[in-house]
Structure 1
Amino acid sequence: MSSTPVSNRKSLPAAAAGEHRLPTIRDEAILRMFSFAFYLTMALTVSFFPLYFNYKGYSKIQIGALYSIGPLVGIFANLFWGLLSDKYQTIKKWLIVMLAGQLIVMLLLINIDTLALLYTLMTFFYFFQTPINPLNDSLIMLTIKDSRKSYASFRVWGSLGFAFSALVFGMLLKQIGIQYTMTLTMGTITLSLVLAALLRDRTGSSSGKIQFAGFGQVIGSRRFLWFLVMIFILSIAHRMNDGFLALYLRELGASDSIVGWAWTASALSEIPVFFFLSKHGHKYKELPLLMIAGLVYTVRFTLVSFVTQPEWIIPLQLMHSFSFGIFLFTALRYMMQLIPDRFRATGQAIYAVVWSCMAGLASGIIGGWIFDAWGPHVMYRVAACCALIASVCFFLTYFRSRDQ
């Protein structure tokens, strides 16, 4: 029985009364289902939106310019929604707002045929879509903070959602036609919106007011900034593969089914690593794990650069498990040591800006230039060099931290 007098309980804020209690089985199940549903939408946007816009008659250059909007908008959007989340100490409410915004944009996109309106609407779509991933990660981190559960045991459901969407929706669209991509996307967004309404909100330990002086000390710390530099270098390699894998497969003569299986293989390969890290990840230091992830990226992209048959990309995509799987889980865990709970959402936003938006822009510009000038084989070797540099940096940082 609680020692808090009944008369005082009514005066407690909602967050103090319930936001920090341990998650129930229902809370965890809904959060996992939300991750699954959100990644259904992510797979559709990554894998099938380009095919949909090609069906609508837009050129490859126009589609490429369209996808460059995402990283640009994401830089502002991640910070904007992250700051709002920290200021008002809520993640759930902003997730609902962003998903509703996406749904409205999808409804408008169906009847849009002019390029200017398409660019405008996709700008709004990315404004509402890109920050959901870091906010979902923040919600998971805050949910598991006082429990024995791991981030990987939740994030694995995102991998399942991505793989399901890439494979099942890919086969479905092949039967009914790529023109129904937006209809499927509205369905997955609606599912995410319903699940978001059922989520239990979690907040940091602050009163809701951002203390910019303290936040500046965190962001201005040499340890945190150096971590972001290393993440940026490694993410350039990762994003080059994300942005140009389909084009590389096309040059090798791959069919649509091979492209779909390549994405599915990478998503499914994450699952065993996430399960392993969810049980045993706490036994290993973060920086050595990040070094290993960088080395696997190096070997993976070096091998990809020598491929001449598109079918060989599929087994090489399975190395995604030991590269991105380790990288994602470990980088987030290490960042938890650098960012206080009250700045969790903003810290996640800055991390997302670096590894997704800034690295996405850099990899698009550098990778596109190398792809056009010297071909995809050279581009993948440059990506392997970036991964090797990041791995060496993680290695040196680890030994320096041991000495200190």
Structure 2
Amino acid sequence: METAKSQARNHHYIRLFSFSFFMGMGIIVPYFPLYFEAQGYSKVEIGLLQSVGPLAGMISNMLWGIISDRYQTIKKVLMLVIFGEMIMLLLLMNASHFFVMFACVLFFFFFHNPVISLTDSLTMLSVKGTKTSYASIRIWGSLGFAISALITGMVLARVGMDQTITILTVVISISFLLTFTLKDRKGSSKKMEFSGLFQLLRSPLFIWFFVLILLISISHRTTDNYLTLYLKELGASEDLIGWSPMISALSEIPMFLLLSKFGHKFRELPLLAIAGFAYVLRHMLTALLDHPVQIILVQSMHSITFGIFLVTAIRYLSVLIPDEYRATGQAMFTVVWVGMAGMISALLGGWIYNLSSGRVLFLSASALAFVTAIGFIILHVFTMRQSVDRGHHDHSVH
């Protein structure tokens, strides 16, 4: 049995690792599109480069998630994929031709994307049975993202966008060193069986939940992929652009704290519907406002959009998925909201942006969020009716 002191120390190291890893995300999300633009690529080429990461993630999340569950280790897999990231960044520094850049970005994200789901799995298993919540650890990721996004913007405004990869390499090297401090976790004493996994995948509730997660994530990823380019088009400097992801990330923290304390009092699907309606408003305001500062202030709505979405979806996932499939289930969730959604959003978004404008792109994202919010309400009504019917059936049997 782990002592309370040992648990506290382990949670402290996970917070540090989360802070460091999300510092890297604070460079990748806002500045990769600007880095590609600085290399002279068009909106369609940037869309392709932005979509290749999620495409790689769709394969690698499942691959590394299954390896982690099969060999009952999260820590060793984390060390391996972060080391792979570092190697790919060194190659990316010297990539000049588009196809070489494409290949380097593909393999970088092959190693990068699984870190999110593996870290979530490690966190969920580490806090299980303790007084620490997932949200109280995840806020350190938000802090890391916020600080990194702002400072990187200021640094890049002075040294030039070309130094993006160098800064990212330093940050990811720190994350790699921090993996040595983490305590490994096993999902369950039960061995993972593929037959049980396939049975889970066939469940209608599981399928519909993931369809709605995909749709709301496509809407969300529009901001990740194209907001910085849209702000630059409206005349914002790198310094100013850095405030946007910082405000977004900091706004998550109060929501994570609130949900860690009171979230269990509310049903998950209605909460996800509220997040959907908040996305409708956020994207609509982004599209209709003209001044970059106003649009940046709107990003504080990230608190009630992504803040509610992430914690609530992961909470619902822990109800849907048994422990022996934890890393695989978490990987599937990441495949959908980071991989599939990121790829569709990048390709479709790049096409819409190129064909019309950033304004039309964000209005489209708003419409998609509305469809999703209604979908969560319908799914909630359906599950409530099912539980009532099951209750009647059990009562009649007795």
Per the TM superposition, whether the score is higher than 0.5 is: yes
Deviation at 1:55, TM superposition (A): 4.2
Distance 2:115 2:179 in 1: 11
> Which residues in structure 2 correspond to 1:225-244 (within 5 Å)?
225-244=207-226
Distance 1:297 1:59 in 2: 28
Does the 8 Å CA contact 1:22/1:146 hold for their aligned counterparts? Answer: no
TM-score under structure 2 normalisation? 0.92
Distance 1:308 1:182 in 2: 31
Deviation at 1:372, TM superposition (A): 2.9
Match status 1:69 vs 2:52:
yes
TM-score under structure 1 normalisation? 0.90
Aligned to 1:89: 72
Deviation at 1:69, TM superposition (A): 1.1
Aligned with 2:243 (options 237, 247, 261):
261
Match status 1:125 vs 2:108:
yes
* 1:337-376 residue CA offsets vs partner (Å, 9 max, x unmatched): 0101010110011111111111122222332333233322
Distance 1:306 1:373 in 2: 18
Deviation at 1:23, TM superposition (A): 5.7
> Which residues in structure 2 correspond to 1:205-220 (within 5 Å)?
205-207=188-190, 209-220=191-202
Deviates more, 1:60-69 or 1:358-367: 60-69
Deviation at 1:395, TM superposition (A): 1.3
Does the 8 Å CA contact 2:33/2:225 hold for their aligned counterparts? Answer: no
User: What SS does the aligned partner of 2:320 have?
Assistant: coil
User: What SS does the aligned partner of 1:308 have?
Assistant: coil
Gaps of 5+ in 2: 387-398
Deviation at 1:59, TM superposition (A): 5.1
Distance 2:91 2:357 in 1: 38
Number of residue-to-residue matches in the alignment: 386
Match status 1:358 vs 2:340:
yes
Deviates more, 1:26-35 or 1:65-74: 65-74
Aligned to 1:104: 87
Deviation at 1:136, TM superposition (A): 0.6
Aligned amino acid, residue 214 of structure 2: F
Does the 8 Å CA contact 2:222/2:346 hold for their aligned counterparts? Answer: yes
Does the 8 Å CA contact 1:22/1:143 hold for their aligned counterparts? Answer: no
Aligned amino acid, residue 315 of structure 2: R
* 1:125-169 residue CA offsets vs partner (Å, 9 max, x unmatched): 111001110111111111111112211101111110011111112
Deviates more, 1:98-107 or 1:211-220: 98-107
User: What SS does the aligned partner of 2:180 have?
Assistant: helix
Deviation at 1:228, TM superposition (A): 0.2
Aligned with 1:302 (options 281, 284, 302):
284
* 1:369-391 residue CA offsets vs partner (Å, 9 max, x unmatched): 33233322222222111111111
Aligned to 2:13: 30
Does the 8 Å CA contact 1:102/1:125 hold for their aligned counterparts? Answer: yes
Higher helix share: 2
Change (3 A) 1:45 1:358: same
Identity %: 46
Change (3 A) 1:150 1:298: same
Aligned amino acid, residue 359 of structure 1: A
Deviates more, 1:325-334 or 1:234-243: 234-243
Match status 1:347 vs 2:329:
yes
Aligned amino acid, residue 186 of structure 1: T
Distance 1:226 1:198 in 2: 38
Gaps of 5+ in 1: 1-16
Aligned to 1:45: 28
Deviates more, 1:216-225 or 1:243-252: 243-252
User: What SS does the aligned partner of 1:305 have?
Assistant: helix
Distance 1:23 1:339 in 2: 27
Match status 1:158 vs 2:158:
no
Change (3 A) 1:87 1:269: same
Does the 8 Å CA contact 1:152/1:275 hold for their aligned counterparts? Answer: yes
Aligned amino acid, residue 53 of structure 2: G
* 1:161-219 residue CA offsets vs partner (Å, 9 max, x unmatched): 01111111222233334333222222111111111111001111145x43111111111
Aligned amino acid, residue 260 of structure 2: S
Match status 1:174 vs 2:157:
yes
